[in-house]
Amino acid sequence: MDRHLVDSHCHMSADEFSQDLHDVMKRTTQAGVRALIAVTEVASEFERVIELSKAYPGFLFPCFGIHPLQGSEQALRSVKYQDLEPAFPLFQTYRDDIVAVGEIGLDFTPWYAPTPLERDEQLMVFKKQLEISKELELPVNVHSRSAAKVTIATMKEQGIEHALLHNFAGRPAVAIEGLQAGYYFSFPPAISKNDQRAKLIKQIPLERICLETDSPALGPEKHVRNEPKNITVSCEYIAKVKGISVETVAEVTMQNALCLFPKLKM
């Protein structure tokens, strides 16, 4: 059966894809992927992801967002408000092109955000981008590591109705709060190596799950670059955990993505 898969969270403007993006895209379509929701982490990526959306129209759909962690992988730090400031005019310039605001959120991992001051500044940057999403009438694509409960609570306080909690790893009780708020959840291929996530996937109704790869990170093999073609791994794992067919997971998650991202036209 021909599958129609949507990768609801990937980083196609990442440097890891700069040398062979065309080949990556070819493998992606061969795997049955019909759309990529391409998120950003820093303002300097915004125009690159717009270029990619024009190079792959109707296939790669851009999002703008400032991630809660900034800097290089060897020197990550908690986001500051000044990291967000260069993004303001770009949100307005490309408001008709982007399909969501993301990747935004909170990351309270102790070694990245050890002080209340850093966590408060993350919250300020997050809330400002939630305001932008409401102004632009766009869903949000959200990071919530070590901060699931406060991330969901903040979105509810800010009146956010349409959100994807990507690579969600919070407790099942916290996931229920997100479900009650109407939010969706997505899981990358790396979950196939983590049986602790199975309990969470069983609890969340398929009607609230999207597929993602988080490429180039969180692939099925550690220290190997992830690609959107590996979304089949997520699809097959969710089907196995829920005891349903791969085709059902593919179809329902595609419809979920279309519902969550109304500007997604496949």
Percent of the chain at pLDDT exceeding 90: 91
pLDDT bin (cut points 50, 70, 90) of residue 1 is very low
Band of pLDDT at residue 72, cut at 50, 70 and 90 = confident
**Phi then psi for 210, rounded to 5 degrees?**
-120, 160
Amino acid at 231: I
For 80-96, how does the pLDDT look when each residue is reduced to its tens digit (9 = 90+)?
999 999 999 999 999 99
Give residue 2's pLDDT band: very low, low, confident or very high (50, 70, 90): low
**3-state SS class at 96:** coil
Question: What pLDDT sits at residue 145?
Answer: 97
**How many whole angstroms separate alpha carbon 91 and alpha carbon 75?**
27
Q: What is the pLDDT of residue 194?
A: 79
- 195 pLDDT band, cuts 50/70/90, is confident
- pLDDT, tens only, 122-152: 999 999 999 999 999 999 999 999 999 999 9
Average the pLDDT over 188-217 and give the result: 94
C-alpha 233/C-alpha 219 separation (Å) is 9
Return the pLDDT at 265: 86
214 Cβ neighbours under 8 A, 6+ residues apart: 9, 10, 11, 166, 167, 188, 190, 226
Identity of residue 170: G
What is the percentage of the chain residues whose pLDDT exceeds 70?
99
Comparing CA positions, the residue from 112, 171, 164, 170 lying closest to residue 142 is: 164
What length does the chain have?
266
How many angstroms separate the CA atoms of 156 and 142, rounded? 13
Per-residue pLDDT of 8-66, as tens digits, reads 999 999 999 999 999 999 999 999 999 999 999 999 999 999 999 999 999 999 999 99
User: Considering the chain, what is the average pLDDT of its residues?
Assistant: 96
